[in-house]
Chain A
Amino acid sequence: MRSKALGAAALFLLPLLAFYGVYYLYAFGVLVDASRTRTSLSFTDATVVGWENFRLVITDELFLRAVLNNLLFAAVSIAAALTLGFFLAVSLASGVRLRRFFFTVFLLPSLIPLSLFATVFGRMLETDDGAVNALLGVVGIGPVDWLGSTGPSYAALFVLLVYLVGLPIMYYTSDLATTNTAVLESAMIDGAGSGHMYRLILFPMLRNTHKTVILSVLLGSFRAFDVVFFSTKGEPGGRTQITGTYIYNTMLGENRIGYASAAAVIVLVFALAISALQVLVTRRRAR
C-alpha cells in the first residue's frame, strides 16, 4: 500500500522534480564546477584554479560592500513597509472614498516591470534636465548630482525602494479584512486618539502580518537586481551595487565566469540558509 502511494506520488511529482533536477541540482553542480576555474561564457579552455576565485571574491572590498548594501536595502524596505505600508493600508481600509484608485496607484510601481519604472526614475534624477532637480529648483534647492556622489545616490535608491511598498500594502489589506477590529469602537468611546489607535491597538494586532511582511521583503531583497541595475547601475564606482548586480557585472568581464560563479555560490549559500531557517521555524510552530 505504501509503495503504491509512493509510485503514484512519484508520477505526480515527476515534472516538478525534473525542473528541480535540471535548474537547481544540476545547475548548482555546474556552478560549483565553474567557480573553480578561469573560463569564459563559451566554457571552453577552462583552467582549474581551485578555490582561488573564492579567496578573491571574499577579499574584494566591493563584494563585501555589495553584501552590506543588500542588508541595508532590505532594512530600508522593511522599515518602509512597517511604517508607510502599514499606515497606507490601514487608511485605505478605513472606508475612504476612491479607495480602489488609491490602492491601484500605490501598487502600480510594484506591478509593472522594474526595468521600465527604474529607468524612468533614473532619468528623472539626471543632473541637468531631470525632473527631480527641476522640481527642487522651484523651491531653491539644487542642482544635486544624484548619480555622481555616494550620499545622493543612496538617497535615490532608498526613495526608489519606498516606491515599491505595494507588496506589504497587499498583505496588510488582506489581513485587515479578516481581522476583528471592533475593539476600536470601544477605544473611541473611551476617548482614545487616532495616533493611540494606530500605534497601541492596530500595530500589535497585526503582528503576524508584520512577520509575513518582513519575511517576504527579506526574500524579495535577494531578487532586487533590477532595482539597482536600471537606476544607479551601481554608480558611483560600484558603491551602490548589490550582490545581484555584482555577479552580473563581473560576468561581463573577460574570462570572469569562474569568478562570477564563485560570487554566485556564496550568495546562494546565504539565501538558502535564510530560507531553510525560515522553513524550520515555521515548521516547528506549526506542530
Chain B
Amino acid sequence: MSTPLRALRQRRRDSVAVYGILLAGAALWLFPLVTAVRASIAHGGVANYWTVLTSTYNGVSLLGAFVNSLIVAALHAILVCGVGALAAYAFSKIRFPGRETLYHAVLIFLAVPGVAIIVPVYWITGQLALFNTHLGVALPEAALTLPFAVLMLRNYADGIPDELLEAARIDRAGHGQAFWHVFLPLCRPALINLGALSVMWSLQDFLFPSMILKRSDLSTAAQAVRTIESSFGPTPEQTSQYFAALVLLAVPVIVLVVGGLRFITQGITSGGVKE
C-alpha cells in the first residue's frame, strides 16, 4: 500500500538520509540493551544466567519476583477495568444532574504524581492492614490509573449508540442487565487495550511496591532491581552477574510489551488528552 508520505523519500538522497537516521537511531536505542547483555557475560560467560536464576539475593529470587509482578499487575488490571467500566457506563449512558461537572472533577486527578501521595498511602495501607499484600500495592496503583481509565472508556462508550442499550432496557431490563449483557461486550476492544496498559504500568511501578512490600519474598521485578543490588560486590564477576539479573528481569517484560504493543499503542492514543 502506498502512502502520500512516500513523497518525502522521492529523491534518492532523501531516502538514503531517512534510512541512515533510522539505522543510526536504532543502533543508539539498542545500545543500552546490547551493553547490558555484553556486560552480563563479560566475566563468567553465559553460566552467569544460570547462577542468578537459581540463587536468591537478599532473599529475592528472580522467578519469584516476576510472579509477584504478574499477580500485582493482574489485580491492578482487573480493578481498573471493572471500576472504570462501571463509571464509564454512568458517565456515558445515564443522564443525571451534575454529570459533566463530576466527570471533569474526576479527570483533574490525571496529574497526581504517585510520590506526592506516598505518605498518606503508607498510613492508609497500615489502617487497612494491607502491608505485605499484593492487593495493598494494586489498590493505590489503581487509584492513580482510574482517571485515565474513565477518560478512555468514556471516549469509547460515547461512540456506542444509545439505541442499543435502550432496546435492552425496553425489555424491562434494568441498568444492571443492560450493562452486563450489552455494554460490557461492546466495550471489549477498549477493555483489552486498557488491560494491556494497566499490566504495563503496574510492571513499571517501583514506588508503591518498595513502600508496601517489605518482605523480600514478595518483591516485584521493578523493585528487585534495587533490592538485589547491594548483594552483588564490586568484583568483575559479581558485576557481570548483576547485569545478567537485570537482563533476566527485563526479558519477560519485553516479551509481554512487544506482544501487546498493538493494544498498548491503541490504548494510549485513544485515551489521549484529546481536543
Chain A residues in the interface with B (C-beta under 8 A): 2, 5-6, 8-9, 11-16, 19-20, 22-24, 26-31, 34, 41, 43, 87-88, 90-96, 101-102, 104-109, 111-117, 119-121, 123-124, 131, 163, 167, 170-171, 173-176, 181-185, 187-188, 194, 197-198, 208, 211-212, 215-216, 219, 222-223, 225-226, 229-230, 243-245, 247-248, 251, 257, 260-261, 264, 267-268, 271-272, 274-276, 278-279, 282-283, 285
Contacts and interface: CB of A to CB of B under 8 A. Distances in A.
Given A105-B29, A106-B25, A267-B113, 6 more contacts: A5-B96, A9-B94, A19-B143, A111-B253, A131-B39, A184-B8
Contact of B273 (A30, A107, A219): A219
B140 interface: yes
A24 B109 contact: yes
Interface in B100-149: 102, 104, 106-124, 139-140, 142-144, 146
Interface residues of B, number: 99
Contact of A108 (B2, B142, B254): B254
Contact of A16 (B86, B144, B257): B86
B120 A194 contact: no
A279 B11 contact: no
Nearest to A2: B97
Interface of A is mostly: helix
B124 A23 contact: yes
Nearest to B88: A12
Contacts of B30: 105
Nearest to A225: B115
A20 B109 contact: yes
Contact of B179 (A12, A95, A248, A272): A12
B109 A275 contact: yes
B35 A124 contact: yes
Nearest to B86: A12
A275 B203 CA distance: 25
Given A2-B96, A112-B253, A26 B3 contact: no
A257 B35 contact: no
A271 B117 contact: no
A7 to B, nearest CB: 9
Nearest to B101: A283
B166 to A, nearest CB: 14
